Amino acid sequence: MPAGQPPIFALAALAVAAATAASLPGETDPYYPQFHVRPEQNWINDPNGPMYDARHDKYHLWMQYNPHGRTWGNMSWYHTISDDLVYFKRLGVSLRNAEAYDIGGVFSGSA
C-alpha cells in the first residue's frame, strides 16, 4: 500500500458508520425491538418514574428520550401507559428541555 493512503478497512468502517448514522430505524426495520417499550424512533435511555395509577387502573412509564436523533443529547422524558404491562400506548414527550435552566436536558435525580 502506498504511503499516505488509508487502509481499505478504515474506509469501509467510515462508510458503515456514515450509513448507520444516516438511517433512522423505525417500526418497519426488521431488527427494531418488537417486545420492549420503545418510541417510534430515536434514542431512549433510563426508565424514569414508573408508577401505577389505581384510580384509572393504568401503569405509567417515562424514559429519557432524544426526540431529535439516535444518540445521547436533547434529554427529554417520553411517556407511555399500559393496562397490562404487555401492550403500551405511546403518549410522546411529556417533559422537554425548553427553558434556559434545563437546556442541557431534563434528568432524573437531584443535586
Catalytic choice (46, 53, 57, 102): 46
> Phi-psi bin for 97: left (phi > 0), alpha (psi -120 to 50), beta?
beta
Q: Phi, psi (5° rounding) for residue 17?
A: -60, -40
Question: Is 46 annotated in the active site?
Answer: yes
**CA–CA distances in Å: residue 25 to residues 17, 22, 45, 51, 93:** 14, 10, 16, 29, 19
Cell of 84: 397490562
Q: How far apart are CA 64 and CA 93, in angstroms?
A: 9
By annotation, the residues acting in catalysis are 46
